[in-house]
Structure 1
Amino acid sequence: MTRLFPPLVTLVLILGAWQFATGPGGLPSYLLPAPWPVAWAIWDGLVGGAFWPHLGFTLTATLTGFAIGSVSAILVGALVAESRLFERFVYPYLVAIQAMPKVALAPLILVWFGFGLASKVVLVALICFFPLLVNTITGIRGADRDLVEMARSFSRSPAFVFLHVKLPAAAPGIMAGLQIGIVLALIGAIVGEFVASDRGVGYLIGSATVNMNVTAMFAGVLVLAAVGMAGSAIIRALHRRVVFWEADPRLPPPSEG
């Protein structure tokens, strides 16, 4: 309850300010709809089943692209961190790809992979790839040099040193990159649906924009916000489980003696 209470207070304040802004003398409904019509649109879409096929399409593109982009980023990041030769040959081009605006690449990706799920997955994988790549490289190269040298002094193989010394040292950075990547993955899926799609929550928001249905637009945006919060919470929970040796910053440091 101590963790839930502050966000709930903030939520109540936001809803109160929202209701006040749309009350008598406030903003017109075509600019900012009141909270209750938006809540009813979300309820009707979820209970009536209209949201679920589109939400399922968006989640499939998001999770599939996130998985492909994350695994690729960790593998490539490990190669770059462990091999200076590989870094010199490949890393400049990875930076060049990251520098390209993904929104500008979206039409080209659609031409190559079509208007279905594949193009959204590719776009999501590209968007969430680079943050995790950088975190992986930084984490592996930031491993304790004394631990690395100690493992080598006991004639441990390079694979053992990587798996038992360097990879655990990089785990906090990798998990932080995953937390950033899951949010970027959702953004990538929505961008792909905005560009060209006949399914997905982004498609629903685009259709509502054409029809000037601001209530439906807000409903879609709030559903996406809830999905993003849930994904971030899951990654944080995995972070606590996977990096179990990392100290909790909310706890006081252990006393000496």
Structure 2
Amino acid sequence: MDNGEIISGRLRVALPTIGILLLLAGWQSLAQFVVADPSLLPTPVQVGRNLWAWILSGGFMPHLLATVYGALGGLCIGAGLGFVSGVIVGEVRLLNRALYPMVLALQAMPIVAVAPMIIVWFGIGLASKMALVVVGTFFVMFIHTVAGMQAAPIELLDMGQAFGGRRWRIALAIKVRASLDYVFSGLEVCAALSFILCVVGEFLAARAGLGYYLRAASYDINASSMFAAVVVLSVLASLLALAVRVAHHRVVFWKYRKH
């Protein structure tokens, strides 16, 4: 490893750290010198104390796990179905012409508009939260997968046909491989979207979860608790998106490898 790679690696760690520190410093200054009312905008220190007290009280983990289960469970189902459906629709031209415009129209529909119906169908609890996440992430993954399937290099497709490759073998070996960059980009979007949709479900109807806790704190006008829940949600979504990005670079290594 040369000096350039060492410096580049250190910068990848240092720059986000500096950005976070600047954000916290700006937040602290705004809360302390501009707003100066903890009931409206607590300082990072006050939020940290509230979060630590929440953890020590034993009430943190049930809400955290409820949200993580709902978000990750729905993400796995929705993204998986979206990927498989996208591969099939991206390969079968008749299905592409028949279904793709309809999926685009449904994807434009606000998920919040159908959330009450989903809660009526699946009830209050984990199932309804997962269903919301499934619906939202399915469309994102489906559209990205279809776009990736259609972006396969024509020269590779011609080569596969010239060597006598069968249709679905060419699709799996060339088109799916070419779509992975699009798929992981969509999965990164889904990673953040899954927590947003899960919290929407918890806001509307839930017995536990960070969204449920956030709603209860808003009723009590407890700004420190509200910010603590928002901070935890931001960290969870960021960590999941980071994990997807790392996997993206590992799997699609031919694009991101260093020359």
Partner SS for 2:22: helix
User: Over residues 144-165 of structure 1, what are the superposed CA-to-partner deviations in whole Å (9 max), with x where a residue is unaligned?
Assistant: 1111111111111122211211
Amino acid of the residue matched to residue 127 of structure 1?
G
Structure 1 equivalent of residue 162 of structure 2: 153
8 Å contact kept, 1:20–1:26? no
For residues 197-247 of structure 1, what are the alpha-carbon distances to aligned partners after superposition, in whole Å with 9 as ceiling and x for unaligned? 111000000000000001000000000000011001100111111111113
* Distance of 2:99 and 2:26 partners within structure 1: 51
1:112-151 correspondence to structure 2 within 5 Å = 112-151=121-160
Q: Distance in 1 between matches of 2:83 and 2:23?
A: 39
Q: Distance in 1 between matches of 2:21 and 2:108?
A: 40
Distance apart, 1:26 and its partner CA: 3.6
Q: Distance in 2 between matches of 1:66 and 1:150?
A: 36
Please tell me whether the aligned partners of residues 46 and 52 of structure 1 are also in contact (alpha carbons under 8 angstroms): yes
Correspondence 1:122-201 to 2 at 5 A:
122-201=131-210
Kept in 1, the 8 Å contact 2:66–2:209? The answer is yes
Match of 1:84 in 2: 93
Equivalence for 2:220 = 211
* 2:17 equivalent to 1:8: yes
Change (3 A) 1:89 1:26: closer
The 1-side partners of 2:14 and 2:52 are apart by 24
Shift of 1:123: 0.4
**Superposition CA RMSD, Å:** 1.5
Aligned-partner Cα distance in 2 for 1:180–1:205 = 23
TM-score, normalised to structure 2, is 0.92
Matched, 1:44 2:23: no
1:138 Cα deviation from its structure 2 partner: 1.1
Flag the structure with higher helix content. Answer: 2
State how many pairs are aligned. 250
**In structure 2, distance between residues paired with 1:119 and 1:175:** 26
Would you say the 8 A contact 1:70–1:125 is kept in 2? Answer: yes
3-state SS of paired residue (1:4)? helix
CA contact (8 A) 2:90 2:150 kept: yes
Aligned-partner Cα distance in 2 for 1:140–1:228: 27
For 1:143, the aligned partner's letter is: A
- Find the aligned partners of 1:77 and 1:137 in 2 and give their Cα distance: 5
Q: Does structure 1 residue 75 correspond to structure 2 residue 84?
A: yes
- Give the TM-score normalised by the residue count of structure 1: 0.93
1:141-185 CA-partner distances (Å, limit 9, x unpaired) = 110111111111111112221121111111111011100111011
Alignment check: 8 A CA contact 1:205 1:220 kept: yes
After superposition, the C-alpha distances for 1:30-65 in whole angstroms (9 at most, x for unaligned) are 110111110011122234331111110101010111
Distance 2:98 2:33 in 1: 64
- What code does the residue aligned with 1:168 have? R
Hey, what's the Cα distance between the residues in 2 that align with 1:76 and 1:26?
50
Partners of 1:169 and 1:179 lie apart in 2 by 17
Q: SS in structure 1 opposite 2:254?
A: coil
- What is the rounded CA distance, in whole Å, between the counterparts of 1:186 and 1:146 in structure 2? 40
